[in-house]
Amino acid sequence: MKSAVLNQRKERDRLLAEPYLTRQTVYDFEALLQSPNIKLLTGPRRVGKSTQAILMLRGKNFAYLNFDDNELLKGWNEEQAEMLLNEVYPNFQYLLLDEVQNVSGWDVWVGKLFRRGYNLVITGSNANMLSGEMATVLTGRYLEIKMLPFSLFETSSFNRELTKDDYLKNGGYPETVSQRAITQTYLQTLFDSIVYKDVVRRHKIRNVTDLNNVATFLLANFTGTFSYNDVADDLGLSSVATTKKFMDYLHEPFLFYYLDRYNNKLKLMKKAPRKVYVVDNGFVSSRAFSLSENLGKLLENQVFIELLRRGYDTEKSLFYYHSRNDKETDFVVREGNKVKQLIQVCYEMSNEKTEKREVGSLVECAGELKCDNLTIVTWNDERLIEKNGYAIKVVPVEKF
């Protein structure tokens, strides 16, 4: 175990010496570090959580343990680990625990460290850390920092040769941005790895074929609505309960997100069909789905992930909406109990019929939700449309 800790010290020092792109973020990392609460960086695998944690702590005396390391896990002993940390990192001020959910009973151990006064920075690739373990053991004692793949702005800042068309189709996973030739192979492997490591292995899934079928179905139907009954029927699965369980499992590693239909009555909201989104457009192209037929869906998915990046939450502040006449608005942004903004996504509106449909849907939903902050995100179009007393901002995606 000591050799693992020493090797990781070398890994930490190597990581500190490398140049990094500064991420666009809504967080004040210096202020976060001053808090005694646990700093929890969450998000899917390989989006830069470890890098961001390293950047947060650069210039500070911090200890480091990476639990994506079999050498560390196979000889794991928490008391010995604490002793070794104090030996290898004398008088450290912060403790970085990378992918800590890989340790059995990690939440109890983290609770002990917190009570002993350690200033902790933790990364994790599983949403269940918040809804389950972390929430149970450390309620009110952690601050969450959500990480996602690079935005369009970050991608073009990192590699100025990449166009917005490239980003729409290939996404923003950091390791593919500088090596677009490997994108498809890399993301195929990453997708399978996430399903296996974070779902199959974690939950001891026996029927891996059905799980993979559910994952493929969700990827093929991204931005579409679903009910658990429909998914089970389409895939020929005998159990709706198992279908729901598999879909919940596929959300845990931040691979898929599910968006509720907005309704003031929670019971009705939960009964309505939901929409499914994938964490990065590159996963769609990596599975060889027809991109030319999906440009509008890819743009909608890109806007959804951008809204998550801005801090909106599918549990509290981000929804879609159907009017009483079945007109749809892609995104309802809420702050507190008030609807702040309605956002429609339309790849192009050069066709008069298309414009009439999109504007009509948005205006009808605006009337029902009593919101006058209306936006249509497009590929290239930019103008102001006035309709029924509403001023609708039409903006190209790069300006959005």
Residues 6+ apart with CB under 8 A from 240: 228, 229, 232
> Quick one: which of 80, 81, 79 has its CA closest to 64?
81
Considering the domain 150-296 in this protein, what is its CATH number? Answer: 1.10.10
Segments making up each domain of the chain, as ranges? 2-146, 150-296, 316-400
Q: What is the DSSP letter of 232?
A: H
The CA distances from residue 279 to 150, 221, 305, 345, in Å, are 11, 14, 7, 17
Contact 261/273 with Cβ under 8 angstroms? yes
Q: In a 10 Å sphere around its CB, with 0-12 CB exposed, 13-18 middle and 19+ buried, how is residue 25 labelled?
A: middle
Query: Dihedral of CA 370/376/377/382: which sign?
Result: negative
Considering the domain 2-146 in this protein, what is its CATH number? Answer: 3.40.50.300
φ/ψ bin of 311: left (φ > 0), alpha (ψ from -120 to 50), beta (otherwise): left
Q: Write down the pLDDT at residue 19.
A: 87
Q: Write down the pLDDT at residue 132.
A: 63
The two three-digit tokens of residue 242, written as one number: 């198992």
Beta-sheet strand order (sheet of 94-98): 62-66, 94-98, 119-124, 38-42, 142-146
> Quick one: which of 191, 204, 297, 298 has its CA closest to 245?
204
Alpha helices in 199-341 (DSSP H): 201-203, 208-220, 228-235, 240-251, 266-271, 282-286, 295-309
Q: Which contacts of 190-194 are long-range, i.e. CB under 8 A and separated by 24 or more positions?
A: 190/45, 190/46, 191/215, 191/255, 191/283, 191/286, 191/287, 193/45, 194/44, 194/45, 194/125, 194/253, 194/255
Q: Write down the pLDDT at residue 21.
A: 81
Q: Write down the pLDDT at residue 25.
A: 87
Among all chains, which residue has been given the structure tokens 């903006």?
395
Taking the chain (400 residues) in runs of 10, the rounded mean pLDDT of each run is: 96 93 88 94 94 95 96 94 97 96 88 95 82 67 92 95 96 95 96 95 95 96 96 96 97 97 83 96 85 88 97 95 96 95 97 97 98 98 98 98
Contact 88/5 with Cβ under 8 angstroms? yes
* Beta-bridge partner residues of 143: 39
Q: What is the pTM for the complete model shown?
A: 0.94
Neighbour tally for 273: CB within 10 Å: 14
Taking only Cα atoms into account, the Rg of the chain, rounded to an integer number of angstroms, comes to 22
Alpha helices in the chain (DSSP H): 2-17, 29-34, 49-57, 70-74, 78-88, 106-115, 128, 134-137, 152-158, 164-170, 174-177, 183-195, 201-203, 208-220, 228-235, 240-251, 266-271, 282-286, 295-309, 352-369
Pairing state of beta strands 274-278 and 318-322?
A: unpaired
